[in-house]
A and B are shown apart, each in its own frame.
Chain A
Amino acid sequence: MLSERPVTPSTLSRKDLPWQVKWDIHTCTKCGRCTAVCPVNAIELGVFRKREIKTSMGLSAKPVNEFSTFYGIRQRTDPAYACIGCAMCNLVCPNNSIEPHREYDSTTLQFHNNRGGQSRARGGRRNSSESLLDQLKFIRISMLTDPALDAGRHEFEMRTLLGRVLSPEAQIKCHQENGWKPPVREIYPLVIGGMSFGALSPNMWEGLQMGVAYLNEEMNMPVRICTGEGGCPPRLLRSRFLKYVILQIASGYFGWDEIIHAIPEMKEDPCAIEIKYGQGAKPGDGGLLMWHKVNKLIAAIRGVPKGISLPSPPTHQTQYSIEESVAKMIQSMSMAWGFRVPVYPKISASSTSLAVLNNLVRNPFAAGLAIDGEDGGTGAAYNVSMNHMGHPIASNLRDCYKVLCLAGAQNEIPLIAGGGIGKNGNLAANAAALMMLGASMVQVGKYVMQAGAGCLGSEKDRCNVCNLGICPKGITSQDPRIYRRLDPEKVAERVVDFYLSFDTELRKVFAPLGRSTSLPIGMSDGLGISDKAAADRLDIKYVI
């Protein structure tokens, strides 16, 4: 019967696994910390048998076998317990005796991540470290041709406009006729993109919000943060901090009754309303918060019973065309705050983005368009959606900006770019490049996870278990046993840190351009790339 383990197509050895745990028998103290912390139980105490054959010299005595046992840390090979490479084992190891190691030749597991017919779903991002944004260079360095500016010494106007800016003619007409003037916010051009309360742990969410409030109130930086679709805690809705918040509404409409109830009690209007139609990381797909993550707290904030799965469908149920989506939704959301709050849609970058933009241009209530590129991150999606679906942000944004230029509306309807900004750590350079390609501001999420909370994810398929509620850093879990690893104050501090350093770096990029009085939005003559096709496509300089 069970004399040997039956070998199935999915029976794997350690060699088949992309992440292999290296363990040092000589330095391990068997303290148990690594197995205690491993989020996926990929390692366990192993009991090993050791055999020694004692043979006397000259065969003078009968040889004997001597068996003994020893203990060590063993990696499990069942795909359900495959190591995810998070290296928490290494983090807690007192002797640096254990660490996961990525083996690029070990590819077997990727053919067995669909057992039971279940396609692989995960959190994270596209598993590709390539980045066109990283290739863009700022080639216009003013030394003598323009007043040379010093990033450290000179003052820069770092604010951008969110909202519909009337053309001079329309402005005059509006003034003369005492007409309605669309709301416009002056905000910092780096916005923390929508990540829901639910996808993120309470400590993470509070840390981000606190950091944003600090930047506004202590550092005088008008930073804004989007809620994502998961409602907004009632206290925040009724606080003055609401003006730093962009409320998101998406196809699940979670938490919106609480928001409506709070409207008459709000001290401040929110910064803006973002209508989410798509997400760059998983275009065409919706969200799903699994029932086991919907605990008492999440249920309260989202306004749902606890313990049920919460799907956000890929589409809004009551919208059937671009015209409807744009006109109906924007109008409804504008009306909620008496047309005092900018409302804009967010779409995943797509070959159809221009059609959306064209509709927005004709809609006087549209406050902007957020476009999210393929390199964005998500808490949960199918692997195939993440790795293979979506449109790069650079060319999509560029096309939109150029269309606005053709219409003469490039200063009137802001484009908000997102998706992969800072994916390799180059946040300011990527953001500056997108602004010079035409973005009025950028949105980041994944970078915030990494810089703000120490997310371990990478483009090498590391960790990526956001969807399972076992985030080793406590970022995407609803389990207090895990999210209490994250101190909201430390998150806030890191948010402040990276905003300040971003601010410095952005000035370092913009100063040599000779721009200090306004952001160089659309200043594409300052951009170059050593890829001819990319240069032609983006209509920037080809430099080698």
Chain B
Amino acid sequence: MAKKIQCISGHDSGVRTDSRILEERIQLAVREGARKLEVDAVGQHGIGGRLWVSKEEPIYVTITGSPGQRIGSKGFPGTTIEVLDGVSDDVGWLNAGAEIIVHGNASNGACNAMAQGKVFVAGNIGARGMTMTKTNPRFEPPELWVLGSVGDYFAEFMAGGTAVVCGHEAQDSKNVLGYRPCVGMVGGRIFVRGPIDGFSQADSKMESIDDETWTWLTENLAAYLKKIRKTRLLKKLTRREEWQLIRAKTPFEKKGRVRRSISDFRANVWDAELGRGGLIGDLTDLDRSPIPLIVHGELRRSVPVWENRKYMAPCQSSCPTGMPVQERWRLVRDGLVDEAVDLALAYTPFPATVCGYLCPNLCMEGCTRQTGNMASVDITKLGREGHKSKAPKMPPLSGKRVAVIGGGPAGISIAWQIRMKGHEAVVYDMAETLGGKIASAIPDSRVPREVVEAEIERAAKVLPHVHLRQELKSREFEELKEEYEFVILAIGAQKPRMIPVPGHERITPALTFLQEVKKGRMKAGRKVVIIGAGNVGCDVATVAAGVGAEEITLIDIQEPASFGKERKEAEEVGARFKWPCFTKEVTEKGVLLQSGELLEADTVIMSIGDQPDVEFLPDTIALDRGHVVVNDDYQTTDAKVFAIGDIVRPGLLTHAIGHGRRAAEVIDDIFAGRRPRSDTREMIDYTRMTLEYFDPRVIEFSDMNQCAAECSSCGSCRDCYLCETICPQVAISRIELDNGGFERVVDPDKCIACGFCANSCPCGIWDMKQAAPIE
């Protein structure tokens, strides 16, 4: 039975048998013991596959006629299928072990998804052969042998097995491997003989055939040729040099398409075409090479600058006298208390009287600590020590002389300054002693008399004083101009302002009242009305209370502008403030208001300010509403005449002193033939200082050392080493200078421009400046 060939026809009486029926017949025959079958095919599908028993008992199927698609589909080990002519599509589809011999050509899709078994084709095959093949480690890998050529898209996604393309009498003799083979190939190998037109380099590679492989090929080639009955071709097909081997790349070999590096492209293509420096190499020499995000040197977008003493401290800037307050505290910190006290004399002849007592201390109002809601550093402590200071040694006289008319704070200030600069300043004043209002009108309660006297005496010792017996006339003024290089008008405002209401002759001017009381020549009535409730009015009230007044009323046309100590003291003596009040008349009973109300008064005092007495001045000196017009240097319209103090505009004592200091500088510059200069430093911005280093709960200062410690030293380096410590790059260092000073410098090669120095400096010295553009 086993040796008998069982013929199965693919047609019944000229009618084609259905594929399903033919399959049933073949399976039945095998079940009944047939092991050699001959099938006369008429286009049936899948003949020869699925003969499960062949694994134990080999089955041989010969196919004659015209088989359909998928010959040997799901073929089993032990099955041999021999097709006497060509086959249609997908021969050996999903072959799991059958051996298929095709004596003609095979069309498209040969061996698609074949996992085991062998397909021997004696001709050419069509497109998409050997695609999606597999290799299962449990079995021998599949093989496809083709005598001629293969069609396009060969071995797509091939994952195993061996394909051998002999290129003998190839259908396409110029390209035996077809168009775009091996795309997606992941396993297996392809032996090919004859010309090819490329393959997917991304997926596979050409490899040399070693001896062992060549032996395998030649041995199996002989067996293949025997099966297709073309042994005679063996010699022709075994010329080793004609064969090539393509194998799938391993995942490690698949690097994708290897791209030329951009730097190579840039150097050898881009710059080669455009020229050195690329796109804009002809337009700029700028270095455009890459840099990191954190940079040094000139690549920093900003640079820290140590701006020591570049700006004025707010205290100094706020002080009309221009006192370098922060410098005095530095001296105290350095243990040089006497020097700190004495330093003031370079700026004012009245450090104790004014800074210590009478000044509202604009420096303290300006103190940076105020911005942090902290108590200002108290300058009065330092100021009050000033009356003990000895006058500095005066330089020899230059021979240049100026006349100062007026011996008040402004006049003494300028005379003091001019003398200190080595010139002679002669003070002309109506009073027997110098001092002006400080000496004659300010109540003793405000400043101890001995302090004032000590300071006036210190100045008087070095200042010649001409005691005028009568008011200056214009002729005498002209003579002074002739005699001196410059004449300084510092006569203050001595003429009380009066309102011309009926009965105004009953009114005592405030200045007269204060001066007379101070000399002990005047008392106040029981009831006092003071017209004008400013700070002078307050002084009047306080003084009046000491000389008999019991009911004191200050009236004003608006809310009184008085403030500070003066106001407080007036309130302490029981003075009443009343506004708005418009005086209609002053009668013997008192002050009658426009409202009809009568304010009873024994004494009526007017304190609405004083005016300069300028009658003796020539027309060449311009006036504006009773005051002398000056430029920024306090020079009047007559170049030989300067004017300072209240004659220029009403102000504080410190203003008068500051005018004097400035005018003296200008005059000294003129004497020296220099263009007048001034300290043009701007005030430092408050935001630059850092106050977090100071105790916010300090509301009072116990002593000068504490004041000095709590001073932020705005604009002047405290030399605290904080910046050096905080710099993350250790870029800041301190350099001793030849003059005994020091400076801090930044190493540009270390600095990264983080700004930490600027943000942490208590004194606001460091600033981050935008770097100059690079172009």
Q: Which of B365-373, B509-517, B661-669 sits within the interface?
A: B365-373
Q: Does A234 contact B (CB under 8 A)?
A: yes
A485 touches B299 (CB 8 A): no
Residue of B nearest to A301 (CB): B283
A217 touches B269 (CB 8 A): yes
Q: Does A152 contact B (CB under 8 A)?
A: yes
Q: Does A206 contact B (CB under 8 A)?
A: yes
Docked Cα-Cα span, A397 to B289, in Å, equals 42
What are the residues of chain B within 8 A of A241 when measuring CB–CB?
273-274
A45 touches B755 (CB 8 A): yes
Given contacts A45-B755, A297-B284, contact A485 B262 (CB under 8 A): no
A47 touches B280 (CB 8 A): no
Q: Which of A63-71, A275-283, A383-391, A441-449 sits within the interface?
A: A63-71
Given contacts A45-B756, A45-B760, contact A4 B373 (CB under 8 A): yes
Tell me which residues from 123 to 175 in chain B have a Cβ below 8 Å from any Cβ of chain A: 153, 156
- Binary flags per residue of B327-345, CB closer than 8 Å to A gives 1, else 0: 0000000000000000000
- Binary flags per residue of B85-101, CB closer than 8 Å to A gives 1, else 0: 00000000000000000
A67 touches B695 (CB 8 A): yes
Interface size on B, residues (CB 8 A): 63
Docked Cα-Cα span, A71 to B775, in Å, equals 37
B299 touches A481 (CB 8 A): yes
Given contacts A2-B686, A484-B291, contact A36 B279 (CB under 8 A): no
Q: Does B745 contact A (CB under 8 A)?
A: no
Docked Cα-Cα span, A41 to B767, in Å, equals 14
Q: Does B692 contact A (CB under 8 A)?
A: yes
* Band of interface residues on A: 35 or more
Tell me which residues from 761 to 775 in chain B have a Cβ below 8 Å from any Cβ of chain A: 771, 773-775
A47 touches B290 (CB 8 A): no
Residue picked from B266, B269, B696, B754, most chain A C-beta under 10 Å: B754
Main SS of the interface on chain B?
Answer: loop
Given contacts A33-B294, A36-B755, A483-B288, contact A239 B729 (CB under 8 A): no
Q: Which of B281, B293, B301 contacts A92 (CB 8 A)?
A: B293
What are the residues of chain B within 8 A of A47 when measuring CB–CB?
690, 692-693, 759-760
B265 touches A214 (CB 8 A): yes
B291 touches A48 (CB 8 A): no
Q: Which of A338-346, A418-426, A487-495, A505-513 sits within the interface?
A: A487-495
Q: Does A179 contact B (CB under 8 A)?
A: no
Residue picked from A33, A69, A202, A481, most chain B C-beta under 10 Å: A481
What are the residues of chain B within 8 A of A202 when measuring CB–CB?
279-280, 284, 288
Residue picked from B156, B282, B291, most chain A C-beta under 10 Å: B291
Q: Does B22 contact A (CB under 8 A)?
A: no
Q: Does B286 contact A (CB under 8 A)?
A: yes
Q: Does A521 contact B (CB under 8 A)?
A: no
Q: Which of B284, B692, B696, B727 contacts A296 (CB 8 A)?
A: B284
A493 touches B262 (CB 8 A): yes
Q: Which of A239, A481, A482 contacts B273 (CB 8 A)?
A: A239
Residue of B nearest to A31 (CB): B728
Q: Which of A35, A65, A153 contacts B756 (CB 8 A)?
A: A35
B756 touches A30 (CB 8 A): yes
What are the residues of chain B within 8 A of A480 when measuring CB–CB?
286-288, 774-775
Q: Which of A35, A240, A479, A492 contacts B774 (CB 8 A)?
A: A479
What are the residues of chain A within 8 A of B366 when measuring CB–CB?
1
What are the residues of chain B within 8 A of A217 when measuring CB–CB?
265, 269
Docked Cα-Cα span, A296 to B775, in Å, equals 6
A485 touches B774 (CB 8 A): no
Docked Cα-Cα span, A92 to B294, in Å, equals 8
What are the residues of chain A within 8 A of B288 when measuring CB–CB?
202-203, 480, 483-484, 488
Q: Which of A44, A67, A153, A219 contacts B183 (CB 8 A)?
A: A153
What are the residues of chain A within 8 A of B300 when measuring CB–CB?
36, 481
A481 touches B774 (CB 8 A): yes
What are the residues of chain B within 8 A of A487 when measuring CB–CB?
290
Residue of A nearest to B693 (CB): A69
What are the residues of chain A within 8 A of B287 when measuring CB–CB?
480, 484
Q: Does A263 contact B (CB under 8 A)?
A: no
Minimum Cβ distance to chain A for residue B555 (Å):
29
B756 touches A236 (CB 8 A): no
Tell me which residues from 1 to 22 in chain A have a Cβ below 8 Å from any Cβ of chain B: 1-4
Minimum Cβ distance to chain A for residue B254 (Å):
13
Tell me which residues from 709 to 740 in chain B have a Cβ below 8 Å from any Cβ of chain A: 726-729
- Binary flags per residue of B360-390, CB closer than 8 Å to A gives 1, else 0: 0000011000110100000000000000000
Residue of B nearest to A205 (CB): B279
What are the residues of chain B within 8 A of A206 when measuring CB–CB?
278-280
Given contacts A241-B273, A297-B284, A484-B289, contact A48 B692 (CB under 8 A): yes
Minimum Cβ distance to chain B for residue A38 (Å):
9
Q: Does A37 contact B (CB under 8 A)?
A: yes
B184 touches A153 (CB 8 A): yes
Docked Cα-Cα span, A301 to B280, in Å, equals 9
Q: Does B461 contact A (CB under 8 A)?
A: no
Residue of B nearest to A88 (CB): B293
Q: Which of A2, A30, A67 contacts B371 (CB 8 A)?
A: A2
A485 touches B290 (CB 8 A): yes
B693 touches A234 (CB 8 A): no
Q: Does B263 contact A (CB under 8 A)?
A: yes
Q: Does B20 contact A (CB under 8 A)?
A: no
B289 touches A210 (CB 8 A): no
Q: Which of B180, B279, B289 contacts A209 (CB 8 A)?
A: B279
Q: Does B488 contact A (CB under 8 A)?
A: no
Given contacts A45-B759, A206-B278, A218-B265, contact A233 B697 (CB under 8 A): no
B293 touches A32 (CB 8 A): no
A485 touches B284 (CB 8 A): no
Q: Does A261 contact B (CB under 8 A)?
A: no
A240 touches B273 (CB 8 A): yes
Minimum Cβ distance to chain A for residue B452 (Å):
30
Given contacts A32-B729, A49-B692, A214-B265, contact A2 B370 (CB under 8 A): yes
Docked Cα-Cα span, A341 to B541, in Å, equals 97
B293 touches A297 (CB 8 A): no
Given contacts A1-B370, A49-B692, A202-B288, contact A479 B280 (CB under 8 A): no
A65 touches B373 (CB 8 A): no
What are the residues of chain A within 8 A of B373 when measuring CB–CB?
3-4
B371 touches A69 (CB 8 A): no
Q: Does B198 contact A (CB under 8 A)?
A: no
A210 touches B284 (CB 8 A): no
B692 touches A210 (CB 8 A): no
- Binary flags per residue of B250-283, CB closer than 8 Å to A gives 1, else 0: 0000000001101101100110011100111111
What are the residues of chain B within 8 A of A239 when measuring CB–CB?
273-274
B295 touches A489 (CB 8 A): no
Q: Which of A2, A46, A213, A488 contacts B759 (CB 8 A)?
A: A46
What are the residues of chain B within 8 A of A155 when measuring CB–CB?
180
Residue of A nearest to B370 (CB): A3
Docked Cα-Cα span, A406 to B266, in Å, equals 48
Given contacts A153-B183, A202-B279, A210-B262, contact A71 B774 (CB under 8 A): no
A233 touches B283 (CB 8 A): yes
A234 touches B282 (CB 8 A): yes
Docked Cα-Cα span, A210 to B269, in Å, equals 10
24 contacts between A and B (CB under 8 A): A2-B370, A3-B370, A4-B373, A33-B293, A33-B752, A36-B294, A37-B293, A47-B760, A65-B695, A67-B696, A67-B697, A69-B693, A153-B153, A153-B183, A202-B288, A213-B265, A213-B269, A213-B270, A218-B260, A235-B282, A480-B774, A482-B301, A486-B290, A488-B266
Q: Which positions in B face A, CB cutoff 8 Å? A: 153, 156, 180, 183-184, 259-260, 262-263, 265-266, 269-270, 273-275, 278-284, 286-295, 299-301, 365-366, 370-371, 373, 686, 690, 692-693, 695-697, 726-729, 752-756, 759-760, 771, 773-775
The 7 closest A-B pairs by CB, nearest first: A32-B754, A45-B759, A487-B290, A32-B728, A49-B692, A206-B279, A295-B775
Further contacts, 7 of them, CB under 8 A, given A88-B293, A481-B771, A483-B288: A32-B727, A67-B695, A69-B693, A155-B180, A217-B265, A219-B259, A234-B282
